[in-house]
Every structure is written in structure tokens, then in C-alpha cells.
Amino acid sequence: MKIAIYMRVSTTDQTIENQRLRLVEHAESQGWQYDLFSEVQSTRNTRPVKAELLEKLRNHEYDGVLVFKLDRWARSSTELVLEIDEFLKKDIKFISYSDNLDFSTAASKLHFQILGAFAEFERALISERTKEGLEEPN
């Protein structure tokens, strides 16, 4: 299996080294071929390395992606759910090392459905707050 290892930190003061060590060790213990992708000082709207990796995953250049934690991949539960749902439909593995989740297993698919419910709840709350904010006071 060929996977992409994706690592991300939010500031230049942080390092991906701890993520890299654990993820490479895990990939090698599984006998996977891998390439490394790292993002430093990313923002919500600017993650060019992730965008490049998504394109490669969609083109089936990799069988899956390995991340250190779910929050290293996505910045919101909605983003996470939408992308994992796409991966599942396209038979792309998504594995979160620290969360011990491999979304190709039955238990992790249940976990994904729970995440989906929370993402839907999050979207509904945002919608309600937006509508309330748009209403004029009486």
C-alpha cells in the first residue's frame, strides 16, 4: 500500500518532527510505501500542501493518507466529515495515528457517523445564530 503522510503545524515556532517520527515509524511497521507532506504556518484558508495532496488522492496516486491526529487534517468537524466521506466513497483510506482510527474498519465507520452528527449539529447552530443575528429587534 502506498500512503501519503500529512503533517501540519500552525506556526513557525512549532515543529513537525514529533509527528514525522511517529508516523514514519508506523508506516514502516505496516510495510507501507509512503511520501511525506508537511504544512507549516497554515491558515484556515491557505493550505497549499493539503490542496496538492487532495488532488493526488483524488487521482488515486495514493491508497490513503496517514495523519497524526484528526485536527492536523481538518480545522472543523464539517471539513473533516466532508473529506472523509469523499474518501470512503472513493475507497481511499484515512488513518489517524493518535486517535487510533482507520476509517476502513467498522468501529471507525461508527465513529465517523458520530462525527457526522456533530458536524450537522455544528452547522445547524451556526445557521440558527446567523438567522437570530439577522432578525431585527422588535
What positions carry a catalytic annotation?
A: 10
Report whether 27 contacts 5 (CB < 8 A).
Answer: yes
CB atoms within 10 A of CB 21: 10
Report whether 73 contacts 42 (CB < 8 A).
Answer: no
Nearest to 98 by CA among 10, 21, 13, 32: 21
Q: What's the grid cell of residue 8?
A: 501540519
